[in-house]
Amino acid sequence: MEKYDVVIIGAGPAGLAAAYGLKAAGKNVAVIENDLWGGTCPNRGCDPKKVLLSGVEARDKVAQLHGKGFKTAPLVNWVELQAFKETFTTQVSENSRQGLVKAEIQTIEGTPRFIAADQIQVNQAVITADDFIIATGQRPKLLDVPGKDHLLTSSDFLSLKQMPEEIAIIGGGYIAFELASIANATGTKVHVIHHNERPLKAFDADLVADFITELQQKGIIFHFNVATKEIVQKQNRYTLQANNLELPADLIFAATGRIPNLEGLDLAAANVVSDGHGIQVNAQLQTANPHVYAIGDVVAKKQPKLTPVAGFEARYVVQQLTGTTTAAISYPPIPTVVYGSPKLAAVGVTTVEAAQQPDKYKLKTQDLTQWFSYHRTNDSIAKATLIFDKQDLLVGASVLSYEADTLINYLTLAITQKLDHQSLLQLIMAYPTAASDLPYLI
């Protein structure tokens, strides 16, 4: 029987960060992967998505300067942009595996199954370890309606060879808004179908309403309160059928959430407990079996399921397994961004939480559209709602703008470092930039 100090299941951002950290600390480590090495983020998530967004950003910048140097904004050429994206993704899996091999981390291709609390079987081999880390991530959840086999996922979208003339995206989360923004910039007619009136429900309602208005002005068509009943194929097209809508489209995508990858692991054999949201862990990220940890998207947790969160948890478990800490995991404020056109970002205390506790928090909403940073590029929208505690310290922020991904990181830094107006005035920032705006915001 093979024996390792630690066996990691899943080679995404969580599993890889844990593997390298443990190896650097002198542990004998094996990583098992059953699909693409590197995981969702670089193969079929964040990175390819953001490469495709580059085309959207370039088109937006030109479109905003209509009549101010430019007459027309070119549509994104999907085939060329897709070919550019491929240059980022094609080598990811092999490079990720090779990186592990070079670091002398054992790589195993296969789907493991727990056969005891401290043993797994993969391929025909039985492997034991002092500790296991489950980092198997999530995959798209398909709607359970007749004709669901006709639905495509975000992975299919990110690899489309041709962008058709008309698409429908069911859902109203990060993925629906991001894919809709990308397809729209190619000139495709885009429909977003949501089952109630409140997409992006974790974000500030007013900013979400402004976000939708911006996207509608770009031509994206939103259908709210539509419960999809069936997907029907008609020749080469598909029709989404609901009680109140019949919508034909060339392709229909489901972006209605993601489910944890738990199949085949036989968690019960290792006494690991899970539910529909993922694997249950304690504050040390241990499952019900103290020698089996879970990290990243596969964990049932209230924190957003994002790449930097997966990395943070991996580094924490490395500390646990190398005896550097026994303290409970303590997450810093976590920024999240919907990479649409514009972008919607948030960090820390939400506006909903703040509005529910007026004795604790103050809200300050600012329209930044006329600020030099945004006026210079003639941006159509730039808004920020900041949340301060009673000591006037920034504790939360929501931003809707074309630069929200940059600004939210500065605001995250200000929150974590407790930077107030006076301390920001002690810094000299390059002008004119989003950073030099900070003392005027906070």
Ligand X SMILES: NC(=O)c1ccc[n+]([C@@H]2O[C@H](COP(=O)([O-])OP(=O)(O)OC[C@H]3O[C@@H](n4cnc5c(N)ncnc54)[C@H](O)[C@@H]3O)[C@@H](O)[C@H]2O)c1
Q: Binding residues for ligand X, per CB under 6 A?
A: 143, 170-176, 178, 193-195, 199, 228, 255-258, 304-306, 336-339
Q: Which CB, 195 or 383, lies closer to ligand X? A: 195
Looking at 136, 239, 274, 289, which residue binds ligand FAD (CB under 6 A)?
136
Residue 65 CB contacts under 8 Å (≥ 6 apart), including other chains: 377, 378
Relative orientation angle of helices 205-217 and 174-184, to the nearest 10 degrees: 20
Of ligand FAD, ligand X, none, which one sits near residue 19, judging by CB under 5 to 8 A according to partner kind?
Answer: none
* Separation of alpha carbons 153 and 140, rounded Å: 7
CA distances to 35, 39, 127, 279, 340 from 16, rounded to whole Å, are: 14, 9, 19, 19, 28
Q: In whole angstroms, how close is the CB of 428 to ligand X at the nearest point?
A: 32
Give the count of residues interacting with ligand FAD (CB under 6 A).
37
Note whether 338 binds ligand FAD by CB under 6 A.
no
Of ligand FAD, ligand X, none, which one sits near residue 265, judging by CB under 5 to 8 A according to partner kind?
Answer: ligand FAD
Burial status of residue 132 (CB atoms within 10 A of its CB: 0-12, 13-18, 19 or more): buried
Note whether 39 binds ligand FAD by CB under 6 A.
yes
* Separation of alpha carbons 328 and 283, rounded Å: 5
Note whether 41 binds ligand FAD by CB under 6 A.
yes
Handedness of CA 347, 352, 357, 361 (dihedral sign): positive
String of contacts with ligand FAD for each residue 255-274, x by CB under 6 A:
------x--xx---------
Residue 417 CB contacts under 8 Å (≥ 6 apart), including other chains: none
**Residues 137-176 interacting with ligand FAD (rule: CB under 6 A):** 137-138, 154, 175
Q: Which CB, 46 or 245, lies closer to ligand FAD? A: 46
Looking at 46, 232, 288, 413, which residue binds ligand FAD (CB under 6 A)?
46
Looking at 6, 120, 127, 135, which residue binds ligand FAD (CB under 6 A)?
135
Of ligand X, ligand FAD, none, which one sits near residue 42, judging by CB under 5 to 8 A according to partner kind?
Answer: none
DSSP 351-400: HHHHHH-TTTEEEEEEE-TTSHHHHTTT-S-EEEEEEEETTS-EEEEEEE
H or E element: which one contains 171? none
Tell me the pairing of strands 274-275 and 278-279: antiparallel
* Separation of alpha carbons 317 and 133, rounded Å: 9
Note whether 35 binds ligand FAD by CB under 6 A.
yes
Q: In whole angstroms, how close is the CB of 270 to ligand X at the nearest point?
A: 26
* Chain residues in the site for ligand FAD (CB under 6 A): 9-15, 32-36, 39-41, 45-46, 49, 111-112, 135-138, 154, 175, 261, 264-265, 296-297, 305-308, 310, 339
